[in-house]
A and B are shown apart, each in its own frame.
Chain A
Amino acid sequence: MVGNKNRNKKKKEKMDIISNGVVIFFALLSLFPLYWLMTSSLKNSSDVVKMPPDWIPKTISFENYVDVFNNQPALRWAFNSTYVSLVSTIALIMVSCLAAYAFSKLRFKGRNILFIIFISSLMVPKEVMIVPLFRIIQDFGMVNTLNGMIWPNVATAFGVFMLKGFFDAIPDSLRESAKMDGASEFTVFFKIMLPMVKPGIGALFILNFVQVWNDYLWQLVVGQDENSKTLMVGIATLMQDLNPNFAYKMAGATVAAVPMLLIFILFQRYFTKGISIGAVKE
């Protein structure tokens, strides 16, 4: 009996080692492009395409980064990207929380139809709406302003759809009990419901921040002058069709990717929790 247990334990340990090995292998594999991006940004352009490649840079040079920050208003671009992503995301969360709560917990006529119409807008790609949206932004005088990049991203159906799932998972009895104790709708919303959907808000924050950060096409058409360019658009401007400096491109791409990585690392806890909670409805 004891022998069997030991054998099973050993077998389990062996399996653990194998599965951990497989996980580590795939983790390293998926991290490799990031490693290649960062190390290439420290090389000369010709060294990037060297065959056989230098897996570890032989000489490290920060010249490409100096070029990006010295010759271009990269700090201004980074500020614009951060500002646009942050304000859009905060505003989207505010709007989405209120709307999702209403769709989930309040009973009103036409609620389901309204929700279906609302989420059906998820099926329309943004590219289709670019020209009409651009004309609206033009009429509001928001071309070449950061506001022109922010507000069209605020009232999107995705946030409402996602958070509604989280509100649905909270039993209605909680709201009813609070109401019986004399709580107003706002008290129920702010003090009871919102704290319970925090993981969902965290996940939405990351997802939307990344989406707005990478919203290249819209930011490109709205921010046409040098001062309103975002990091994604500005870095793309550095690329010339027939004059490639691969290391310079890699440095630009690294500059554009690092803030995203930091945001993910900071909010990773909420992100993973939010995704798993949202997946199960009890």
Chain B
Amino acid sequence: MFKKGFLASSMAMILVLGILSGCTGNDSAKTNGKSKDQVEISVWLTPQWKGVMDGSEKGADYDSFLKHAGEKFAAQYKEHDVKVNVEVIAGDQRDELLNVNLNGGTPPDVFFESVFAMGDYVHRGALVPLNDIVDEKAKKDIAKNYWDSVTFGDDIYFYPFSHMPGTLAYNADMFKAAGLDEYIGDKNEIKTWKLADYEKILKALKKDLPKDKYPNAYPMALYALNNQGDTWNLAYFRMFGNPFFNDKGNIALNDANGIKAAEWMKKIYDSGLTNPGAESVSSNDANAMFQNQQLAISFTNSVLASNAKADMESGKAPKFDMRLANIPSESGKPLTFTYVTGAAVFNTEDKTRMKVSKDFVKFMSTDPELVKASKNGVPVRTSVAEEFKGDNPIFAAYDENAKYMFNFTGNVPGYSQLRQILYPELQALYTGEKTAEQIVKDYQEKGNQIIEESKANSVIYKK
């Protein structure tokens, strides 16, 4: 009898103790702002670079820079005793985590991320303007096009820190093997080809690339499996002069130039000038194929390019002469874009924490030592770019290229949803399910519907 009772009681005790330990186990619950002098802020980031200044540091990790910035900020901050908690989250976890935490009323205080991925949160009213922490000195040191990409309506919502320009990458060894020496640019140049030349290059790569040296190789990367790397696909739509967005912030792809661009993409695909099966190839696959010398021309950005070079140096990937080029256009004016990265402050409705968060963002974005870490991407500050030009000659080329940049998001509301409807249309184009005219028409219709609905809920458009 005693045994039965004991067993039953034990089981109940285990459950009750478990629940109670859960109730008291709030080991990292925020005490944010509860004490007058102690303020804890949470800073989230997606992986950007390892280390404070670079990956060669001992114990270098993705959170090293912001942890260092947090400690430095806390040491000099007079108004409160501040603790900065830094969390790294994967890019594909960002929206799930943010949405649940926004609904739960516990968003992070600061988010350090690419602006294009966070624009929808501005329109939702989740972020606060940072106009009051941006001074004239910063405006002079950071070029206007970077400020434009972080400005929604009249307000600045992100403090630009670094950027990651997107270009094409090409295998100069494959070019040489195909007799295309005249089209190869300098090592630290971002080469510009006219569209007619680009077509010649693709055809020569298909015809003249030695099959024994480069078996199973294709001239150019083309992919449409998902929304990753879609910015390059968006750039191809602009090749014949289509502006993509009109002045009202709507999609204006459905014109003769937009259709021409879609037809061009289909034409090069059907002619075997790209990898086959584009509808089921992801940008990651394309990137890996390029690193494996199965593609002569692919997409890249500054981080991907330096990672690819590092992999070649360390022997993780086959070594070849990789160089950069702009996306060509019919007019001869090259196409390029950039992902500006910066910190944003969430509206947590806690005035103290929001004030401390803004002070932290200003500190990490202006401190003379900390801003040098932007060299891990490409610095947005002219002063930092100048300082590191010697070590990174490609900075000068990116700087020169800045004038060709277009704002690929148009800062329109619902941009993340626009990304979801693009690749199904591209898949339909490559599989022959739809014509070029049809995908351009359908994408514009669906896209503008999303934009209109998002505008109705956007705090920027409601102003």
In the bound complex, CA of A154 to CA of B28 (Å): 23
Number of A residues near B (Cβ < 8 Å) is 53
Majority SS at the chain B contact face: helix
Q: Which residues of B contact A94 (CB under 8 A)?
A: 11, 14-15
What string of 1s and 0s marks CB contacts (under 8 Å) between B291-325 and chain A? 11010000001011001000100001110000000
Contact of A45 among B7, B105, B311 (CB under 8 A): B311
Contact present for B97 and A221 (CB under 8 Å): yes
In the bound complex, CA of A246 to CA of B15 (Å): 42
Contact present for B288 and A46 (CB under 8 Å): yes
Q: Does B390 contact A (CB under 8 A)?
A: no
A151-B18 CB under 8 A given contacts A49-B288, A244-B284: yes
Contact of A242 among B27, B103, B106, B228 (CB under 8 A): B228
Surface stretch bound by A, among B75-83, B88-96, B185-193: B88-96
What string of 1s and 0s marks CB contacts (under 8 Å) between B126-155 and chain A? 000000000000000000000000000000
Contact present for A184 and B104 (CB under 8 Å): no
Contact present for A243 and B307 (CB under 8 Å): yes
In the bound complex, CA of A144 to CA of B40 (Å): 16
A141-B303 CB under 8 A given contacts A49-B285, A225-B87: no
The closest CB in chain A to the CB of B106 belongs to A138
Contact present for A145 and B25 (CB under 8 Å): yes
Contact present for A224 and B18 (CB under 8 Å): no
Contact of A91 among B14, B90, B303 (CB under 8 A): B14
Range class of the B interface residue count:
35 or more
Majority SS at the chain A contact face: helix
Contact present for B93 and A237 (CB under 8 Å): yes
In the bound complex, CA of A258 to CA of B47 (Å): 27
**Most chain A Cβ neighbours within 10 Å, of B25, B46, B287:** B25
Contact present for A217 and B289 (CB under 8 Å): no
Contact of B4 among A135, A187, A224 (CB under 8 A): A187
Q: Which residues of B contact A71 (CB under 8 A)?
A: 61
What string of 1s and 0s marks CB contacts (under 8 Å) between A56-97 and chain B? 000000000000000100000000000000010001001100
The closest CB in chain B to the CB of A186 belongs to B4
Contact present for B90 and A239 (CB under 8 Å): yes
What string of 1s and 0s marks CB contacts (under 8 Å) between A38-60 and chain B? 00000011101111100000000
Contact present for A44 and B28 (CB under 8 Å): no
Q: Which residues of B contact A242 (CB under 8 A)?
A: 228-229, 283-284, 287, 301, 303-304
In the bound complex, CA of A217 to CA of B287 (Å): 28
By Cβ-Cβ distance, the 3 closest A-B pairs, closest first, are: A147-B22, A141-B26, A49-B288
Can you list 11 contacts pairing A with B, beta carbon distance less than 8 Å? A45-B316, A87-B18, A135-B103, A138-B105, A144-B29, A145-B26, A145-B27, A145-B28, A147-B18, A221-B96, A237-B88
Residues of B within 8 A of A (CB): 4, 7-8, 11, 14-15, 18-19, 21-29, 46-47, 61, 85, 87-93, 96-97, 100-101, 103-106, 215-216, 228-229, 283-285, 287-289, 291-292, 294, 301, 303-304, 307, 311, 316-318
